[in-house]
Chains A and B, each alone.
Chain A
Amino acid sequence: EAGVAQSPRYKIIEKRQSVAFWCNPISGHATLYWYQQILGQGPKLLIQFQNNGVVDDSQLPKDRFSAERLKGVDSTLKIQPAKLEDSAVYLCASSLVTHRGRIGELFFGEGSRLTVL
């Protein structure tokens, strides 16, 4: 079974530029998450999708971050304009929804490491 795919693995940009990250979850996983992990910290949730709907985006800095999952499969996270403090690893994760409507375990992609100069 293929895992969560993310690209690009690495990206270096200057502040005020824009960047986009792509994620393809495990086949059949209805729930998709984007996490931001700053060096030395735990992952912090940015946005959670279930199918193509947003479940939680309360911690997404909406003035510069946007995310979409138009067809309920793959997803794109965009940052525009980037700031120095956006330097982090952006982790995509997916999980199944059980027959009882509960979220299963999280499976992570390899992450996209962003450096903002």
Chain B
Amino acid sequence: QKEVEQNSGPLSVPEGAIASLNCTYSDRGSQSFFWYRQYSGKSPELIMSIYSNGDKEDGRFTAQLNKASQYVSLLIRDSQPSDSATYLCAVRDNYGQNFVFGPGTRLSVLP
């Protein structure tokens, strides 16, 4: 059973701080990793994808991947109250071609 784990939170950070969200996965064959943001009552929306070890930056968001440790993280710099949402980590392997989601981490950015 392929598993993706995340701390459920809530993770509370003050406005302007860095929020750090973590995800671990069990399937060593996984090749593609995604972070989705889900506002309450809304559907998930893709914010970052990462395929290679290292860091990938997009605006205030940085995704970090370490395949040896089976670990992927998302950093949000200069956190804003509008970043308050649940962040879902999703993992896809090259064989099954489906996506396994973690339970999500609820982030609360306090003004």
A-to-B contact residues, CB < 8 Å: 31, 33, 35, 40-45, 48, 55-56, 91, 102-103, 105-111
B111 within 8 A of A: no
| Nearest chain A residue, comparing its CB with the CB of B44 | A108
A44 B42 Cβ-Cβ under 8 A = no
A110 B43 Cβ-Cβ under 8 A = yes
B63 within 8 A of A: no
A55 B97 Cβ-Cβ under 8 A = yes
Q: State which size class the interface on B falls in.
A: 20 to 34
B-to-A contact residues, CB < 8 Å: 4, 8, 34, 42-46, 49, 88, 90, 92, 94, 96-104
Q: How far apart sit A103 and B100, CA to CA, in the bound complex (Å)?
A: 13
Apart from A43-B101, A55-B98, A105-B34: 19 A-B pairs, beta carbons within 8 A:
A31-B97, A33-B99, A40-B8, A42-B4, A43-B88, A44-B101, A45-B98, A45-B99, A45-B100, A55-B97, A56-B96, A102-B94, A102-B97, A103-B97, A105-B49, A108-B44, A108-B45, A109-B43, A110-B42
